[in-house]
Structure 1
């Protein structure tokens, strides 16, 4: 296994712990509608599944319900108001990212989070990254490989020179399709009943710092 020229990271549930923001969003909306609060864990497990899944959870509607997409927009409007208030990097990244840079390994972000919210979030959690690929930047979002391949291209690298780290099976599928080494972040937002071992990632890490131990000497 060769040392990567770059490591690409998923955002929500991998690089950043954004669940606290969404916990506040979901339960503030439920309070507005005189509904009881949901548990932090129930909300956390849906963060990587995006706004529609969170809206369905918030109001207990099916994804094909005619109200699902309007409710999603209501949730995203509230998220725009609260974004970055409690989100933070997962512990360990504050030392991992400088360590990668010291080894001349570049890093980038590849996310299914819309550009509007990504651009609002990153400066609020003090993340400055030269290459950030969002779903609007490509034709097909993850699990298609398009966004990962664009990130590699923007870095001036081949896919084989990059590793990809994510906390969902779609991340592993995208890395595999792109021809990148896939790394499952088991510290992320894993749903009950989901077994990361079944994703068949190339490598698994339980903490951000564990990524350093995967690097060849």
Structure 2
């Protein structure tokens, strides 16, 4: 693990699902549509898995998500689910479905006005991650939106390392903000102060045990000591 550089952050890196975006407000109807279509196409004839199983996998790479959600499915079904999930997510976002967590937009604006560069680092697909930012009106606040789908990284540790390298932030004081153990690992492995979002309910509370700080309201980011 790299030594943490504390102090006023030059940059703040955010996870997307469960951190900025209240994913279940979009994913619950999308999940239903995905499995209805798979069944219509004869690719998955089992009972629809509970949506809680999908929500619990947020933060994983997509191929790992389907292995957990429908472990008895064929590779063809999983590949088709990839396509349908993105299609229905983007359609839902365009139709106004899906909400940011309370106070996200204004807090991001204040952090940016205070001089911090803002980034997203997500294990999701590129079009989805950028789509959330675009359709929810926060894309212009970020200096970069990084996704595993765009860069083909095998872990969030590698994705965050690439982001830091690309923007000359290696060794600089930065924060990593997220709700899953993968976010904490990515931050700590890259020497960042890790902030766990305890308001999200998609993972287990124990996933944030190693975070340096935990917050229960997004606005608390503005109150943290420099």
Structure number with greater CO (CA < 8 Å, separation at least 6) is 2
Q: Residue 180 of structure 1: which of 181, 186, 192 is its match?
A: 192
What does residue 152 of structure 1 align with?
164
- Cα distance in 2 for partners of 1:137, 1:37 equals 29
Residue ranges of structure 1 left out of the alignment (5+ in a row): none
Change (3 A) 1:41 1:175: same
Deviation at 1:136, TM superposition (A): 4.4
> Is 1:131 the counterpart of 2:131 in the alignment?
no
In the comparison of the two structures, how many residue pairs are matched?
Answer: 211
CA contact (8 A) 1:22 1:47 kept: no
**1:1-217 to 2 correspondences below 5 Å:** 1-31=6-36, 33=39, 41=52, 43-49=54-60, 51-52=62-63, 55=66, 61-62=70-71, 65-66=74-75, 67-84=77-94, 85-127=96-138, 128=140, 129-138=142-151, 140-144=153-157, 146-191=158-203, 193-198=204-209, 200-216=210-226
Change (3 A) 1:139 1:97: same
What does residue 43 of structure 2 align with?
none
- Cα distance in 1 for partners of 2:93, 2:48 equals 19
- Cα distance in 2 for partners of 1:63, 1:211 equals 42
Deviation at 1:69, TM superposition (A): 3.4
Deviation at 1:68, TM superposition (A): 3.2
CA contact (8 A) 1:4 1:162 kept: yes
Q: How large is the RMSD of aligned CA atoms in angstroms?
A: 2.9
- Cα distance in 1 for partners of 2:52, 2:188 equals 29
SS in 1 for 2:7: coil
Superposed CA offset, 1:64-101 (max 9, x none): 74443333333333333323532222111122112212
Compute the TM-score of the two structures, normalised by the length of structure 2.
Answer: 0.78
Deviation at 1:39, TM superposition (A): 6.4
Deviation at 1:132, TM superposition (A): 1.1
- Cα distance in 1 for partners of 2:136, 2:115 equals 23
Residue ranges of structure 2 left out of the alignment (5+ in a row): 1-5, 41-45
- Cα distance in 1 for partners of 2:176, 2:198 equals 14
CA contact (8 A) 2:10 2:172 kept: no
Compute the TM-score of the two structures, normalised by the length of structure 1.
Answer: 0.80
Deviation at 1:25, TM superposition (A): 0.7
SS in 2 for 1:12: coil
